[in-house]
Amino acid sequence: MRYNTLGRTGIKVSEICLGTMTWGSQNSETEAHEQLDYAFDKGVNFIDTAELYPTTPLSAETYGNTERIIGEWLSKRGRRDDVVVATKVAGSGRPYIRNGGPITPEGIGEAVDASLKRLKTDYIDLYQIHWPNRGHYHFRNAWSYEPAKQDKAHVAADLKAMLEKLGEVVKAGKVRAIGLSNDTAWGTMKMIDMAERHDLPRVASIQNEYNLLYRAYDLDLAELSHHEDVGLLAYSPLAAGLLTGKYLDGARPAGSRLAINGDLGGRFTPHQEPAVAGYVALAREHRIDPSQLAIAFCLARPFMASVIIGATSMEQLKTDLGAVGMTLPQDVMNGIRRLHRLYPMPI
């Protein structure tokens, strides 16, 4: 296991981060703790969660339960300083979370305190804005994204107010570092510029989707990562399970995310099928597990701070962790380049 520095913070995180969004719905507390114990035995020191979780499915009844499960494990395990815990404040859209409104400074304060209580900890290592108030192209919104409709003055004031509040919680010792999620190159750079001009916390990381089927980060955000030391925390490296091949030919395994969520957050479309089939065939041709090929590719990207894996079974977790230390042969990388040219954005 390799360890990378989170931005300019000095915080070292394992190249694999354990994702948690199924804990409390698809996974019980016992299963979640088993995953945590196994992952940490293998060198993982990084957990990512959110006040919103679990998400399979989202519900008012389960809201916050994933953080509670992690809090119980942290309490039982001890040695809190050996663990890097990341969580997020939810944006608008869920009526049971601050009446469904956008992120506000007051909301950040409330959310931080509630997460600390559920996590049974005195501090959060990385606190992230789950998605921006102004709109974005993530969650399959690329086809309707229209930034020209954003009010410039309002957006700038909104970002500064959030950053100032994040500065308060950092100064209070409740949060060590801040990050963004589902954001853009402009949004990230604007926050960095404000931080440097006003002596506020600097963005350490950005958590965006990244996988063989969705590589928007390769463009402007990759350049930002290089010049500004903002690493990517890649979520959905298996494209919500598509890249395992288990959904090929319309299969819907019982208990899987597709069986629960219907369309995998908009990813399950006819366009992804030939791309997935190509990557799975490439993996099998070279006797590589398809999941491990997908994760190993992500781990090799120069802008990667950590790859977030999520599993509903110990078997899946062990397979995913098997990608650690794997170097993909040049002919496999050439095959990935060929398929990417054929299917540049199938989800």
Catalytically active residues are: 53
94 neighbors 84 (Cβ within 8 angstroms): no
Pinpoint the alpha helices (H) of 175-256: 185-198, 220-228
**Closest residue by Cα to residue 295 from 16, 36, 5:** 16
Residue 322 to residue 307: CA distance in whole angstroms: 13
In terms of residues, how long is the chain? 347
Calpha distance 13→47 (Å, rounded): 9
* DSSP-H helix ranges across the chain: 29-41, 65-77, 105-119, 152-171, 185-198, 220-228, 257-261, 272-285, 290-299, 314-321, 330-342
Contact between residue 184 and residue 208 where contact means Cβ atoms under 8 Å apart: no
Backbone φ, ψ for residue 95 (5° rounding): -60, -25
